[in-house]
Structure 1
Amino acid sequence: MLKNAVEHTGDGGTVSIQYHENAIYQEIRIGDSGEGIATKDLPYIFKRFYKGSNAGENSVGIGLAMAQNIVTKQHGDIEVTSQERIGTTFHLNFINESYDKL
């Protein structure tokens, strides 16, 4: 996600990483002011081998699918919000282990 943010944000753009923790979960947000993801691509970006309309020339389409798999295996969730020509933010949430056992 960070790699994608850097690749899809042009000169003068911004990439941000935010972290928040509370008693229930930890959240990581990776955002950019890049080109955004096309609305028609959003439902499919976590599918293996899917390459969106803004995919790079050398894209294989496995990076986001792999990221989702890793996050899910760690009992987390990953979501994305995006607007074309405005930017994209990936939201990763991990439930605290002690809360998950309640």
Structure 2
Amino acid sequence: MAKGYWIARVDISNVDGYKQYVAENGPVFKKYGGRFLVRAGQFEAKEGDNHRSRNVVLEFPDYAAALACFESPEYQRLIAIRAPHSVADLIVIEGYDGPQP
């Protein structure tokens, strides 16, 4: 079964205000089997419109878990905490589980 992922691009306008979101998101992600693959690491924009300053990729056991986490009341509460302090582009996407080159 293919895994599920969140791919997020974020700009933070108030680092101090954003800290509560960071402090509280771990237990929510853990509940749905999420784990960070990328969390604001160094990057070079090579193509396209790369206007956000922070990149995050979370992996979940499957697409359903990734969707359930985003739609959960726990995460919706975290969005309300994060939103005044940042702007984000986020997609929930199903991983690829087919043949590889």
Give the TM bin, normalised by the shorter chain: 0.3 to 0.5
* Greater relative contact order (CA < 8 Å, ≥ 6 in sequence): 2
The TM-score with structure 2 as length reference comes to 0.39
The TM-score with structure 1 as length reference comes to 0.39
